[in-house]
Structure 1
């Protein structure tokens, strides 16, 4: 049987500062194919090429990846500053309405890092441009030097709400995660439940209250070593199960319409 299809929301980049591409980390595709058990397909996240309606009908679920560009602060009613960093306005134009549509339809998505932040903004929340500048907060950014193994190494705990969605999934109230982000949630959006926090209070795990589908999103990068990591694996497995359930429901609905 054909695998259920997961659309990977990528970012716009320039190769050698001149050749434009849409790209996503290989580890995202590995996690979707090898752990979630679905077919990973890159999406050119630009409204010139695709529409939200087409994406909803073409894919069974979506992976909202991390990436260097940040959500533009105009999307949450704030002025752009130097601290907000680089942007990908084309991705904003696709990802934010796509998230809202998935929440309404019950179509599954998994948000990672920037994707986690997109979920909050899509639901009306706001972001801090630089977590490390806040009193009492740690530096959550990627270490500037070292190997990939060193940059993606586990660096702090995340504690979940007792009995919450993430606690039930992982079977633990506290897990170790990596951390490679500069921005973070300032004000949670409507129905955004902060279900896990870093030791300094930074939100690290959220879901959408009363949403009919899978909406779990994390601020860390579970795609790194997803097949062997005891936290990453159950997250991607649960996402894959949700994607297959959606695909089965959509197929059944199609059979009923054609009968």
Structure 2
């Protein structure tokens, strides 16, 4: 379902770009809490999804989720340095490592529900994939960068940004899946910058990609009339140097416009 904003015409008579709500984190900047979205997400969405943008602050006491969902055409849940607090997926507090952003957790919980009720698309990157899994009843694991398994999903903590986002591995794309068709590939190499990941897959989600160790790296779903698509990696990072990331973000734009509709899980 495409919202009213896409039905409006601009001065040239062309359809306006869909209005994409982009979730913000709460982060400390110069000693104050700021509503923060890394510009790389915004530029990737504007340039490769061809979307107009509005930033959604994570302020649960002041966000009217039903009204907001009625105004935007879709929502992008971005990556973040923070982890999802265990109480949102029934996980144990013991051993849980932050930082946490529970205000974002709560805003996403409410907004996701209203977006699904409104039949509008929800797209996710990294933390966003985890949030979608949690919102639909799945759980998370927290051991993906410990080195105890066959594959580490995060660079060492002292790595600089280039090295952190340079940490990579192959993912296998599910045959006949949305990603495999859009990228015309059976596997791709992706960056890997996450400590948490999917443990129990939520009901209704279809697996679109997996890492060599079996960790779910991408999901899709059709929940009612709402289209869901999310990846665990970061296609927005240095997107201009990566044709596969550009193709993935164009796919996100097509999902946003209702041109690509994931199958029911």
Query: How does the TM-score come out when normalised to structure 2?
Result: 0.85
Structure 1 residues 214 and 142, CA gap change in structure 2 (3 angstroms): farther
Aligned twin of 2:130:
117
Separation in 2, partners of 1:185, 1:243: 24
Aligned twin of 2:5:
none
Q: Is the 8 A contact 2:171 2:210 kept in 1?
A: yes
Q: What are the residue-to-residue correspondences of 1:51-90 with 2, within 5 Å?
A: 51-90=64-103
Q: Is the 8 A contact 2:154 2:167 kept in 1?
A: no
The one of 189, 208, 218 equivalent to 1:195 is 208
Separation in 2, partners of 1:83, 1:139: 18
1:95 match: secondary structure: helix
Structure 1 residues 8 and 20, CA gap change in structure 2 (3 angstroms): same
Q: What are the residue-to-residue correspondences of 1:73-152 with 2, within 5 Å?
A: 73-133=86-146, 136-145=149-158, 147-152=160-165
Query: How does the TM-score come out when normalised to structure 1?
Result: 0.87
1:145-195, Cα deviation, whole Å (9 max, x unpaired): 555333222611110111112111211110110000000111011112222
Q: Is the 8 A contact 1:158 1:196 kept in 2?
A: yes
Residue 37 (1) aligns with residue 50 (2): yes
Q: Is the 8 A contact 1:70 1:86 kept in 2?
A: yes
Aligned twin of 1:12:
26
Aligned twin of 2:4:
none
Separation in 2, partners of 1:56, 1:210: 15
**Tell me, which stretches of 5 or more residues in structure 1 are unaligned?**
247-259
Structure 1 residues 73 and 147, CA gap change in structure 2 (3 angstroms): closer
**Tell me, which stretches of 5 or more residues in structure 2 are unaligned?**
1-9, 11-15, 260-265
How many residue pairs get aligned? The number is 245
How far off is 1:10 after superposition? Answer: 1.1
Query: Would you tell me which structure has more helix in proportion to its own residues?
Result: 1
Separation in 1, partners of 2:21, 2:240: 20
How far off is 1:48 after superposition? Answer: 1.9
Separation in 1, partners of 2:22, 2:73: 11
Instruction: Give every structure 1 segment of 4 or more consecutive aligned residues whose post-TM-superposition deviation is greater than 6 Å.
Output: none
2:227 match: secondary structure: coil
Structure 1 residues 72 and 143, CA gap change in structure 2 (3 angstroms): same
